[in-house]
Amino acid sequence: MTEDNHSSITEFIIIGFTDHQDQKILLFSVFSAIYLITMVGNLGLVALIYIERRLHTPMYIFLGNLALMDACCSCSITPKMLQNFLSHDRTISLYDCMAQFYFLCLAETADCFLLAAMAYDRYVAICSPLQYHTMMSKKLCIQMITGAYVAGNVHPMIEVGLLFRLTFCGSHEINHFFCDVLPLYRLSCVDPYINEMILFILAGSIQIFTITIVLISYFYIIFTIFRMKSKEGRRKGLSTCASHFLSVSIFYGSLLFMYARPSSVDEGDKAIPVAIFYTLVVPLLNPFIYSLRNKEVINVMKGIMGKRLF
C-alpha cells in the first residue's frame, strides 16, 4: 500500500452503542438526563463555592476545581455522543478526534492531581489541625491547583503530539462511543508500540504518583483517627474523609483498568463499560458524593434557597 493510501483517512466513524433506532432514542434520553444533571451539579457546585465566602478554604477550592474538570470531561464527549444518536452521520475528523481526546485527557489528568491535593489537605486538617492555616497557605493552594492544570495540559499534548506519527488505513470505524487513543492505535498502519509504551509510562506514573500521595495521606489520617479518645472525634474524622476516599476509589480503579495495563490496547469494546463509568458516571456522582455528605455545603444551599424563597 502506498503512503498516499496510508494517509488518505482523515475522518472516522464512531460506532457508538447500537444501530437500532428504538434503543438509540432510549439511550439518547438516558444520556441526556445524565449530561444535564452532571452539568447542573458540577457547575452549580462551582458557582456555590465561588459566591459563598465561607467556602473559600483550600478544601472547597480544590473541590470547585474538581467539579470544573468533571464538567469539562462531560462536555468533551457527551454532546458529540448525543448528536450521533440522532444523526445518521457519525463521522468525526481526525483533528476533532484529537481535540476530543485532548480535553478528556486534560480533565482526567488534572483530576488525579486535584484528588491527591485534597488528600493532602485532609491529612493536614486531621493530623496537624493547629498548623493547618500555616501548612495549607493560600500560596500553596494556588501552586497545587496550577500544578494540576499544567500537568493536565502537558500530558495530552504529548499523547496528541505522538498521534501525528501515525497514519491510518483500512477500516476507519472507531469501536467506541468517543475518540480515545486506544481505538486509534488499533486503526493505525504504523506500529503504535512507541505510543503504547509512552501512554503506559505516563498514565502509570501519574496514577502511581498521585495514588501514593493519597495512600500515604490516608495511612496517617486513619492512624490519627483511631488514636482519638473521643468517639465523636473519630466519627467526625471518618465522615470528613469518607466522601473523598469513595470518589478516589471509583475514579482511580476505572482509570487504572483503562490505561495503566500493557494489554489495554487490545481490549476493544470490552473496555466500553469502564469508559462509561469514568467519563460519565463519576462526573455525575462526584457533586452528590461531596455535597450530600457535607453539612457545610448543605447549610449554605439551604441558606441560599431560604433567601430566594423568602
Q: Is 164:278 a contact under the CB 8 Å cutoff?
A: no
Four-point Cα dihedral 286, 291, 296, 301, nearest 10: 130
What is the pLDDT, as a whole number, of residue 231? 74
* Contacts of 1-6 spanning 24+ positions with Cβ under 8 A: 1/169, 1/189, 3/167, 5/169, 6/167, 6/168, 6/169, 6/189, 6/190
Tell how far CA 22 is from the center of its chain.
Answer: 30
Residue 167 belongs to a domain: yes
Residue 260 belongs to a domain: yes
What is the pLDDT, as a whole number, of residue 158? 96
Residue 5 belongs to a domain: no
pLDDT < 70: residue spans in the chain:
1-8, 19, 233, 237, 240, 258-271, 292-295, 302, 304-310
What is the pLDDT, as a whole number, of residue 116? 93
| Tens-digit pLDDT profile for residues 171-223 | 788 888 899 888 888 888 888 899 999 988 998 899 889 999 999 998 998 88
Residue 97 belongs to a domain: yes
Q: Which residues contact 226 (CB under 8 A, 6 or more apart)?
A: 234
d(CA 246, CA 252): 10
Q: How many residues does the chain have?
A: 310
What is the pLDDT, as a whole number, of residue 1? 41
Domains held by the chain: number: 1
Residue 2 belongs to a domain: no
25, 127, 153 from 85: Cα distances, Å: 7, 50, 30
- What percent of the chain is predicted at pLDDT more than 90? 40
What does the block give as the cell for 247? 470518589
Residue 6 belongs to a domain: no
Residue 3 belongs to a domain: no
Residue 236 belongs to a domain: yes
| Residue 16: DSSP 8-state | -
Full residue range of the structural domain in which residue 101 is found:
11-301
CATH number at residue 218: 1.20.1070.10
